[in-house]
Each structure stands twice: as C-alpha cells, then as structure tokens.
Structure 1
C-alpha cells in the first residue's frame, strides 16, 4: 500500500505540490494522471525520498521509503529510464542491483527473460539501447527484488504496441497477485485499459480521484440520432445537460435514460454508448484545462 497525506513541496513562492492526499491499494493498479508541470513527478520523487517534502508524509507499506530495510526488496521504482549508466551493459546494471540487494546471480537471468531482453542485448552497453529497451531494463530493475509495490513514471514511453501490451499484462498480473501498482502515464487509453483507480492532478492539487468505473460513469453517454436537435431539446426538457460534440451529443445521464426519452418522442437512435475512454479524456482535459501545456498530459 502507498499512503500519501498532505504532501506539499514549495520552491520559494511556487507551490509545485499542494496538499496531495491519496492511497494506492494492494491488488489494484492506480493510474496517476496530470499534464506537464502538474507536480506528478515531484510527488513520486517525494514518495521515494529523492525530494524532501515541505510538508506532509508519504508511506509505503506503512513506513517511509528511506526507513525500509533494503528498500529494493519491498518497492520497485522506475522514474527515468534514461538515468541508467550508459557505459554499463544491461546485464551489468542488473548484476550490480542484485548484489546491492543480496540477491542470487540467477535472478538477473530470470528478469532478463521476463522483460524480453536477449543475451546479445544484455551484453550491449546501455548507451546503445533504444528508449524501449531502456524501459524494459528499468522495469527489470524495478522487479529485481521481488517487491510488493511498484512506482513507475511513464513506463510505456518508447515501447511499441506489442511492448505496451506486454507491459499491461505484466502489471495486471502483478496487481492480481496482490501487488500495489502506482502508474503515471500520458497515454490516457492505456490508463483507461489497465487502471482500477484514478488520481488526477492539476496545478499541484488533486482534482479528481476514485475508482475508474465510478469516474467514467460521470462522463455520461454518447448518442447520435436521426434528429439530434430535437433529441437535445427533449433531454434538456427533462433537466438533462446536453453538449454537442461534432455529430454526436454528450449527455450527462445513463444510456437507459437517453433511450427512454428518445422512445417517448419517437426519435430513432443510430448510436448509444457510455462515454468510456473518450469520457476519460474529456474529463481529464476539463479538470486540468487551466494547467495543460500544448494539450499534452504527462
């Protein structure tokens, strides 16, 4: 479990992280979303003792990260795949980690196989790795100590579609076995697919959090019909909020409500779905609109 309470970090007059509180539970993947500069990475650095908080606390497995004995055996961390020593081989990076944690040599071979780095690639210097290979190596290092908690910042960067699917399966399996996963990503679709819970941060503050399904339910319904104008007026007459989005209507109500109104007014529906992933993206952009930079989340 990860528990963050009132976490705050200031730099002079600038408050980079402002009273952030949330929990990441065992057996669940928690998606951590926020635009560039929102304070997400600063939060993660404070969780693992790399940046001291101005106020508040962050505990992992009920202890501060720096107080954990041999922390790599309890918490796997990947904050920057490019931070690995460029002059060492992938195998050397993992071997040094294994020695530091007191692990057997065989653990290195196990993890190289898990993340799909071949023996030839393992002998190659990290400076010659692609970003995707560095991500795989970083994930291998995070898993090296067989931890109970994973804290990963943008682990899908540089991975091809097959690699993203592999990572998704790996993290889902880790959580299903009782592990805790805190995953930050700008790939909203990947978060929507894998996450059980969502924490959205903007301007250093939490702007939304909760179970994914509960948050997506608030995104409403996407609908099109043979007469969108009349359908919109009929829904508005029932006190339902309606927004035109291109050729569709975004309705703040369950699909069954929309269907009943359409039936009452004899309007033929051509599409009726929950907002789903599009709703997650709309919710994210709406909640963080004042903090977005070039419309890219990170």
Structure 2
C-alpha cells in the first residue's frame, strides 16, 4: 500500500496508540496545513499533518530531506512562504505560555558547553518561571545521574548531551513535544531509551513529533509516519500500514 524501500526493515513491537484505545475525538495540538519554504533550489513543498493529544508522529527521511526545516517552522524560528501552522488552535507566536504548550529539542550542539548540566537546566527553568526542584526531576526522567548533572556539558558524551537537551524540553511539562533527530548514531541502548520515553509521555497524553533518519527506530512507537525525500512527502499514513510494520 505504501511501497518505498525506506520501510523494508521494520520488525519491532509497536505500542498501542491512545487513538486506538478510545472512541473519543482527540483534540488537535498541532495542525500543519500546506506549508512550503524555499532556500534557493532547496526547501519543502506542501507539507500537511496533524498531531493530537497522546499521539506520536514520526517525520522520517534522509539528511537534507527537509525535516529540520519543518521543525524550525513549527517552532516559529523560520516563517513558511505559504501555508499555516497552529499550535493548540493558534499561531505559536501568540501562545501565552509557550514553554508549557510546546517543548522543543533542536540540537545538542546548541547547549552551552561551559556550564554544568544541572546549572544549564536551572538557567532554562529560571527563564520559564519553573521551580528549580523540577530540574532534578527531569534529570532523573532522562536517565542522567546527579553526578552527571555536576559535570560540565563539554565533558558529557554526545548521547548524554542529547538527553540533557530533551530534559530541558520537558521542564515545563509541555502538552506538545517536538524532537529533531534526538537519536543520531546512538547505540541500541540509547535508541531503546528514547523510544521508551516517547511511549511513556504519549501514554500520559503528550502529543509528540519526532524526526529522524532512523525510521526503523521510530515506526514501532509512532502512530503515524510522514516520509520525506527532497522536500516533498513521498508517503504518509498510519505507521501500521507500512510494509513490514509489526501488528
């Protein structure tokens, strides 16, 4: 039904999405409607999808396919040339409590390297009006120890920096979580940790957008997949409909 070699390797057990556990219509947290953006000869064209409460959408594709461009438009960093994006029913720029509405992880490289990990979280918490005690809780949530929290960011392995970036995105307990390629080149234990976290957050009602080049990691935990190549959608639909996806 969705022929593409990208999905030939899927073989893991999928979670049961919230949308299949209830007959109620779930509220839309994120609506992306026909967005396009050009950078010279590159960009994305006519992208549409919706994420509801407790559902996970995986945005997959090779490097340069447009995943980060889409994430940056959702975050309000880049404006689309056409189309619209609404977060919780309104443009994200007009949301009164943005950190509580959407948590965002873009890149571990953006985290200041000369701060201890816990101090970085405390700084982010202060800017968002969040109690400092929450910082210790999210460190534990992402599997970082108190000792690792005292290490400078530059002393942490790359995989631990990704966990720290995700912890910062979780500080305000957002209703929508957007993760741009949080599992690049991680070992199996790292990918298992990320998928376990996504599963847990979705069960708690968080809507999640996660982008990655590793579609075989995301399919088991996603409800829907949007596959990109060269800035356009090549296939889109429930993840269970893809060839090789587990039932």
The equivalences for 1:126-165 within 5 A come to 126-157=153-184, 159-165=186-192
Residue number among 122, 125, 143 corresponding to 1:116 in the alignment: 143
Shift of 1:276: 3.5
CA shift in 2, pair 1:186/1:15, >3 Å = closer
Q: Which has the higher contact order (CA 8 A, sep 6+)?
A: 2
Taking the aligned partners of 2:49 and 2:135, their CA distance within structure 1 comes to 34
- Residue 20 in structure 1 maps to residue 47 in structure 2: yes
Residue number among 31, 36, 53 corresponding to 1:3 in the alignment: 31
- Residue 182 in structure 1 maps to residue 151 in structure 2: no
- Residue 276 in structure 1 maps to residue 245 in structure 2: yes
Q: Which consecutive unaligned segments of at least 5 residues does structure 1 have? A: 220-274, 278-298
Taking the aligned partners of 2:179 and 2:232, their CA distance within structure 1 comes to 20
Taking the aligned partners of 1:155 and 1:11, their CA distance within structure 2 comes to 24
The 8 Å contact of residues 220 and 245 in structure 2, kept in 1 or not, is answered as no
Structure having the higher Rg: 1
User: Structure 1: which 4+ aligned runs deviate by more than 3 Å?
Assistant: none
Shift of 1:15: 4.4
| 1:141 counterpart SS class | helix
Taking the aligned partners of 1:187 and 1:201, their CA distance within structure 2 comes to 12
Aligned-residue CA RMSD (Å)? 1.5
Taking the aligned partners of 1:140 and 1:200, their CA distance within structure 2 comes to 27
TM-score (norm 2): 0.84
TM-score (norm 1): 0.70
Q: Which consecutive unaligned segments of at least 5 residues does structure 2 have? A: 1-28
The 8 Å contact of residues 16 and 39 in structure 1, kept in 2 or not, is answered as yes
| 1:16 counterpart SS class | strand
- Number of equivalent positions: 218
Deviations 1:87-143 (A, max 9, x none): 111111100111111111110111111112122211111111111110110110011
